[in-house]
Amino acid sequence: MSRLARLALTGLFCLTSVATAEAAATLTLSRGSGPPTTAVTATVKGFSPGKVVDVYFGTRAQCVVVPAANGSGACGFKVPASAQPQTHWITAVVRVTGTAVQKTFIVRTDWPNAHGLTVANDGFNRYENTITAKNAHLLEPVWSAVANDLVNTTPIVVGGRVYVTSQSGKLHALDATTGAVVTGFPKTLSSASGGFYSSPTIAAGIVYQASYELDGTSKVRAYNAATGAAVAGFPKALAGYAYGNPIVVGGKLYIGASDGKIYGFNAATGATLANFPITLPAAVRTTSSPAYFQGILYIGADDGTLYGFDVTTGVQLIAQPTTGSFESASPAISGGALYYASGTEHKLFQVSPQDANPWWTAPFTMDAVWDGTPAIAYGKAYVTDITSKLYAIDTTDGTLAWSKAFVPLSNASATVAGGVVYTGTEKRVFAFDATTGALLWSYGVGIGPNQSVTVANGFVYVGVSGVSPFRRGLVAFAPIGAADRKAAARPSVADLVPDRTLTPQ
């Protein structure tokens, strides 16, 4: 065979190898969903070694990888902060040939806990980017559900579903976009009705709910959040009523009860944790939800004391007294500081999370704090009181930035998202500009005591126990037209916008 023929065959073999390799090219992502700014690693396999591969989120280049000799490689990027809560496309494309493979990524701004994204209880959905101060005035009801039942709990939103507990003793799961009932739900928790104030919590695909029992106790139940199947090892009995919400930290569940104890269970098996339950001094009642930060479990008790316990040993580390009851208010942690409001002093406190040493006490008195779990965002603490006033307090020194009065009575804590503060009364829900306090929107549905408005994935969810047009149930709001948004279009290679300043990682 001539040298020219050998070269021709070699060239043909190389082209065939490249084509075969890139025909088998794959793209995998380190995770398939998450909020804006989520860190994602894109791994490519089966690509031609040494050829530059650009990775795009939507149509915008995010990172560059050059496959090694085995045809694989990886690069990392962050989901854009502006990415809307919907399905998006990730594309890996060979820069020279245009060979491309694609995967979907779902952006979600979920709300897994009653008082926040985490067990710090800060009440701030920092990822919400659909509803802002610019379009909150366009909010309108898009669906309602659980129409024949009172809802005095905070809706929880995870994985495209919204979970809420009604006063008849049922845990509901609904499609978060349409309100359709999820197969396997509702779950009947208890025959005791009229007393459900503990909201659900979701962690690792399990939804937890504390129920009220007819004998004056509570039980913590656990269900598969997707199917509604009961989790083995649950329910777990508490010797008192659970007014606050459970939290899950590192696979362990904690909840306080009216018998003056904090209970701890393995969140997967239900086994009681070593050194739990913890008994509060004098077995004082607690109606507060616990908070967690750096190994310490915090809770407010009805003797007006903020307690902190070592989460492993149960040893009491903190006992910071005030002159009044916590009622249903819970502590919140943000930016390395802990905040709590006194139910009798009517003041907001900022203290050290390590020892509760006071850093400042607000130099003014609020009218009458009841639930008043602070929401911390944008350098302010937002606190409501039962006289239906919302306070925005500077987190630097505790001075008042602004306050707004509205009627009638309010027991709801504030929620902050997208530059907007949400709260409500027994007759209306409200949205205020988080910076100026300007009223942006209100609607005639009454929010129940000891709960919050939930803002997630471009929707506002309100558990209703007030007046018309929705006397009961759960109502979802969205800006006009926003509820009709669809998945992002699948881009072609021609749609992609390269960034030649990016270099291989």
Q: How many CB atoms lie within 10 A of CB 47?
A: 29
Strand ordering across the sheet containing 247-249? 247-249, 252-256, 261-266, 278-279
Give the whole-angstrom CA distance, residue 281 versus residue 377.
33
Give the whole-angstrom CA distance, residue 431 versus residue 118.
22
Please name each of the domains of the chain with its CATH number: 3-107+490-495 (2.60.40.1930), 124-471 (2.130.10.10)
Query: 415 Cβ partners below 8 Å, 6+ apart?
Result: 123, 124, 125, 375, 421, 422, 423, 452, 453, 454, 455
* DSSP-derived secondary structure for 143-196: EEE-TTS---S--EEETTEEEEEETTTEEEEEETTT-PBPTT--EE--S--S--
E strand residue ranges, 70-111: 73-78, 87-94, 100-107
Strand ordering across the sheet containing 236-238? 201-203, 206-212, 218-224, 236-238
Q: What are the angstrom distances between the C-alpha of 350 and each of 302, 334, 367?
A: 19, 10, 18
Q: How many CB atoms lie within 10 A of CB 143?
A: 18
Of the chain, the end-to-end C-alpha distance in Å amounts to 44
Burial label, 314 (beta-carbon count in 10 A; 0-12, 13-18, 19+): middle
Residues of the chain with pLDDT under 50: 1-21, 468
Give the whole-angstrom CA distance, residue 473 versus residue 457.
20
User: pLDDT value at position 371?
Assistant: 66
User: pLDDT value at position 65?
Assistant: 97
Residue with tokens 């199917």: 227
Contact 70, 115 (CB under 8 A): no
For residue 186, whether the previous peptide bond is cis, meaning omega lies within 30 degrees of 0, is yes
Query: Hey, which residues does 332 pair with through a beta bridge?
Result: 339
123 torsion bin: left (phi>0), alpha (psi -120 to 50), beta (else): left
3-state secondary structure of 22: helix
